[in-house]
Amino acid sequence: MKRIAAVLGLMLVAAALFLGAAAPPRSLAIVGATVHPMTGKEIAGATVLVVDGKITGIGERLSIPAGTERVDAAGKHLFPGFIDADSVLGLTEVGSVRGTVDEREAGNVNPNLRPELAINPDSELIPVARANGVLHVRAAARGGLVNGTSALIRLDGWTWHDLVAAAPLALQVEWPAMRIDRRPEARVRPPIQQERIDERIRALKEAFVTARAYVKSRDAAAAGQGPAVPADARWEAMRPVLERKIPVVVEANDLVQIEASVAWAEAEGVRMILSGGADAWRAADQLAAKEIPVILGASLALPARSWEPYDTAYANAAKLHAAGVRLCLSTGGSGFEAANTRNLPYQAAMAEAFGLPHDEAVRAITRYPAEILGVSDRLGTIEAGRSASLILTDGDPLDIRTQVLRAWIDGREQDLTSRHTRLYERYKARP
């Protein structure tokens, strides 16, 4: 009987595990840090309590439950993890090796693309970015007119399922270049250049006309008011955009592109986020009046035109902020910049050096990208109920001398070693 009871007991334990019986909650207390919540003033000497990956309390005299892991953070600074709002991190590795580049798709209109399916969890660039405090990125495909939907990627996981924090975030549209080369030595005559521009804009508009007709027909068929319409993954992917459930992120840099894309979005009745925005400062009043947020591209950049001041890109964020435009910062979203995702805090530092207030610069890579991307209920601030995606530093994170000492994503502590640290240790010990 004892043997039977023991066997039954083991079976019950196995059944409980199989059915997902509640495990004891994992709890963590980060004690004594100066907490920068991004919602107000910093809190010196505070404790942040984390249970099962979420922040449950913040304060100077919090009661810490027995069995809680304690992290002594006295003299250190606690910030929300950084968010790069425009990236191809995980979609590209070595630019000169075609097999490692998966950021583009053939064709111009591919609204059904899902870049999260192509993310490489073993990318060597992910630990490098994570080691400097970048814990989430918005991944989006490039190259065509309509490049599918983008996804928020957490930089921690074994598979793409693990990496996806939110999807779909937005439809990715790349506005056609509209500048015409009128020089005598231009390879293509101006009228032909204009025809090509018109053709691409017409293709974009036709894609939205087709998607609207498809959605209307499918809804009518579902209500028994029309013939059956076969499902089409391309146009089905645009349904959330047409229903204004997700926005359209429009990549546009020149002033003429920005003005044309804003007019197009207004005519289509879709929510728009401007990405890139090299000339956004020229359209700041219009963007503010229409409440169009901006994901600024790399601020560590040269002027686009030879006659522009050297600080055109550096001062862009400050000018937009002064005009009342909602903005966040990114590393730019190109394949080259994927390797420089780690430099996101220094993009913010340059914006600060040229007029953006310090607190706004930090929020531009924490709170504001979360708000613009629609995930502020989970990320971007240190508040009860938010994800414990946090970094612990020994100083101002925008200062290049500051070190990220520890990091957590959803309460899981991250390994901060990377190819960079391995090479450093290797050559430090070189005989």
Residues 6+ apart with CB under 8 A from 264: 201, 204, 205
Q: Per residue in 268-302, pLDDT tens?
A: 999 999 999 999 999 999 999 999 999 999 888 88
In the chain, where the domains are located: 82-378
Residues 154 and 159: their CA atoms lie apart, in Å, by 11
Residues 156 and 136: their CA atoms lie apart, in Å, by 9
Q: Which is more confidently placed, 340 or 206? A: 206
Position 171, amino acid: L
By the 8 A CB rule, do 404 and 131 touch?
yes
Residue 46 pairs in a beta bridge with 33
| Strand-pair category, 146-149 with 134-139 | unpaired
Mean pLDDT of 109-131: 93
Given a cut of 90, whether residue 210 has pLDDT beyond it is: yes
Position 149, amino acid: T
By the 8 A CB rule, do 391 and 78 touch?
yes
Q: Which is more confidently placed, 303 or 294? A: 294
Residues of the chain with pLDDT > 70, as a percent, come to 93
Residues 333 and 421: their CA atoms lie apart, in Å, by 25
The whole-number pLDDT of residue 1 equals: 47
The whole-number pLDDT of residue 103 equals: 73
Q: Which range has the worst mean pLDDT, 17-21, 130-134, 170-174, 417-421?
A: 17-21
E strand spans, 119-181 = 134-139, 146-149, 151-154, 164-166, 171-174
Tell me which CATH homologous superfamily contains domain 82-378: Metal-dependent hydrolases (3.20.20.140)
- Reading the block at residue 390, the tokens are 């946090």
Neighbours of 339 (CB within 10 A): 18
Given a cut of 60, whether residue 8 has pLDDT beyond it is: no
Position 308, amino acid: E
The whole-number pLDDT of residue 201 equals: 93
Neighbours of 256 (CB within 10 A): 15
Q: Which range has the worst mean pLDDT, 13-22, 125-134, 187-196, 209-218?
A: 13-22
Q: Is the peptide bond before 168 cis (omega within 30 degrees of 0)?
A: yes
Residues 293 and 249: their CA atoms lie apart, in Å, by 10
Given a cut of 60, whether residue 365 has pLDDT beyond it is: yes
Alpha helices in 75-189 (DSSP H): 125-131, 160-163
The whole-number pLDDT of residue 25 equals: 65
The whole-number pLDDT of residue 11 equals: 52
DSSP state of 115: G
Tell whether the torsion through CA atoms of 85, 87, 89 and 90 is positive or negative.
Answer: positive
The whole-number pLDDT of residue 18 equals: 44
Given a cut of 90, whether residue 137 has pLDDT beyond it is: yes
Q: Which range has the worst mean pLDDT, 118-132, 142-156, 193-207, 329-343?
A: 329-343
Average pLDDT over the chain, rounded to an integer: 90
Phi then psi for residue 56, to 5 deg, are -115, -15
Q: Per residue in 307-353, pLDDT tens?
A: 999 999 999 999 999 999 999 999 986 646 688 899 999 999 999 99
The whole-number pLDDT of residue 334 equals: 63
Residues of the chain with pLDDT > 90, as a percent, come to 73
